[in-house]
A = this chain, B = another copy of it.
Amino acid sequence: MQLSVKKLVDEFQHACRENDMRITPQRIEIFKELAVAVDHPTAEVLHKRLVVKMPTLSLDTVYRTLGTFSEMGFIDKVETTESQAHFEVSHMPHHHLICEKCKKIIDFVWQQVDEADLPDETRLLGRFEKKNVVVYGVCKNCL
């Protein structure tokens, strides 16, 4: 786990250099915190976790940084019906279970869907590729 985060951070720094993006302590910490997060935190939640270690970090830097990371494709916004955005570090294709009670977002993989072709009719509508499944229900803690 430790190792894989280190690897992710290395990749991240490398990608920063490639994109002429400066590597700042704030960016590293924000990326790391999101990389180790098992939930799918909001900007505010991330900020709360980070100020403990980095007291001067401002919430707007978190927002700005998440926006930048997202544009770079290094993190993803999770699709929900909430107004607050949730984020995660991009990794292998996966999907989300959302508990309707506690709003927890849980990752799962579903190769069957990843490998399936979209219905033919959708070809006429444009070029669509990135499939994300959101499944609503109740998590085991809330059952």
Interface centre among A77, A118, A136 (most CB of B within 10 A): A118
Q: Beta-carbon contacts of A116-129 to B below 8 Å, as 1s and 0s?
A: 10110110111111
Q: Beta-carbon contacts of A5-42 to B below 8 Å, as 1s and 0s?
A: 00000000000000000000000000000000000000
A71 to B49, CA, bound (A): 33
For chain A, residues 50 to 69, give those with C-beta under 8 angstroms from any C-beta of chain B: none
| Minimal beta-carbon separation of A98 from chain B (angstroms) | 8
Instruction: Knowing A79-B79, A97-B122, A116-B112 are in contact, say whether A132-B129 is a contact too (CB < 8 A).
Output: no
A4 at interface, CB cutoff 8 A: no
A72 at interface, CB cutoff 8 A: no
Q: How many residues of A contact B (CB 8 A)?
A: 40
Is B139 touching A135 in the complex (CB atoms < 8 A)? no
A119 to B95, CA, bound (A): 11
A136 to B122, CA, bound (A): 12
Is A138 touching B127 in the complex (CB atoms < 8 A)? yes
A134 to B96, CA, bound (A): 11
